[in-house]
Amino acid sequence: KKPHGKKQYAIIGLGRFGSSVAKYLAEMGYEVLAVDDNAQRVQDVAHTVTHAVAADSTDEEAMSSLGIRNFDVVVVAIGQDIQASILTTLILKDLGVPYIIVKAQNELHGKVLNKIGADKVVFPERDMGLRVAHHLISPNILDH
């Protein structure tokens, strides 16, 4: 299940965030399963990752048959469709995925994700906005 003790990752949702996570992990030599219900998005990462599959993550049977519970970490990177993000997280939880990281669209979405058992909730746009602002007022930056 875990060759060389390396963790195995599944990334669901291959937008800018999800595909970036998937590609980096694959480049670092980790086993990565990439999932999206958009066949074109799956195609775009297929050459980079270990397995790329077109599937609807709100379909519990489809997730179960992918063996999603055998992955150490699953990243849910579905942004716009909050309902799909929540249903997917719930299904992964029910299937017994040990560690689930979910990208949240806003604070309320994040709250729901925490309540249904997401292990980590991330807010990439908010956090990057803060980092950029911080960078702008850091003493090393004189003229921006």
CB of 64 to ligand ATP, least distance (A): 14
Asked if residues 19 and 83 have their Cβ atoms less than 8 Å apart, the reply is no
Give the integer Cα–Cα distance in Å for 15 and 84.
Answer: 14
Within residues 30-49, the interface with ligand ATP by CB under 6 A covers 35-38, 41
Asked if residues 79 and 121 have their Cβ atoms less than 8 Å apart, the reply is no
The contact mask relative to ligand ATP for 50-79 (x = CB under 6 A, - = no) is: ------xxx------------------xxx
Verify binding: residue 14, ligand ATP, rule CB under 6 A.
Answer: yes
Residue whose CB is less far from ligand ATP, 37 or 140: 37
Q: Which long-range contacts (CB under 8 A, 24 or more apart) does 43-48 make?
A: 44/14, 44/19, 45/14, 45/19, 48/22, 48/23
Residue whose CB is less far from ligand ATP, 81 or 94: 81
Asked if residues 54 and 39 have their Cβ atoms less than 8 Å apart, the reply is yes
CB of 103 to ligand ATP, least distance (A): 7
| Residues that bind ligand ATP in the complex, under the rule CB under 6 A | 12-18, 35-38, 41, 56-58, 77-81, 84
